[in-house]
Amino acid sequence: MQLFDLTGRTALVTGSSMGIGLALARGLAQAGARLVLNARNADRLEEAAEKLRAEGAEVATLPFDVTDAAAARDAIDRYEADTGPIHILVNNAGMQHRTPLEDFPPEDFDRLMRTNVNSVFYVGQAAARHMIARQSGRIINIASVQSLLARPGIAPYTASKGAVTNLTKGMATDWAKHGLNCNAIAPGYFDTPLNAALVADPDFTTWLENRTPAGRWGEVEELVGACIFLASDAASFVNGHTLFVDGGITASL
């Protein structure tokens, strides 16, 4: 399956010390990619790197704050100069904050937007400048079913993920002519640390099982195939697309 082979390519995955980011990094490594893991917590990042190295992956770490434009640019420029090209970027870092909209603190709105939207622009732009010079690259942004749907208490998160989907379209529109493929993956409800409170809520789980045609929570490993596809030559003419991996929840009323 040479179309899906990532041997010889380097993938930077933000927010990859746990959850979806770690699962995607592991999957990219299994497809042949070298890994560059990113998170703010250097100790936790190194723990994740050691796990993947023990599984046979070639892993480097690049700790920086994705909400700091200068830090993102400096880290990526330094890696490109000292180590080599980043061929694949997965913008996975994100956060959630659940509060009724009328009570949502403005400072938390700003923090959520910086983490979920600004970071995609900052890290995406920093990586794209090098990709454009090479006329080749893959950018995969992690959106959400909340790019299309809303639920009570998470209106700012919904706004942020809608922005990620449209920013992905904008990236493709500006950068496809330079050989970049910019797409997004929109997960449904997955059993992750970000959703720990919902997973622990039996009423929510019952609602989710009834609402989702597949009838269950997703497992993070079920996102790997979509990521490998969009990172590989198999997706050479896929651009500006958001691929929903959601058990059918956005397809069904």
Catalytic residue positions, numbered: 157
Structure tokens at 86: 């980043």
d(CA 64, CA 68): 8
Torsion of CA 231, 69, 187, 49, to 10 degrees: 70
How far, in Å, CA of 52 to CA of 143, rounded? 25
CA distance 180 to 177: 7
For 77, the token pair is 């420029």
Query: From CA 86, how far away is CA 106, in angstroms rounded?
Result: 35
List CB contacts of 33: < 8 A, sequence separation 6 or more: 6, 7, 9, 10, 11, 87, 88, 231
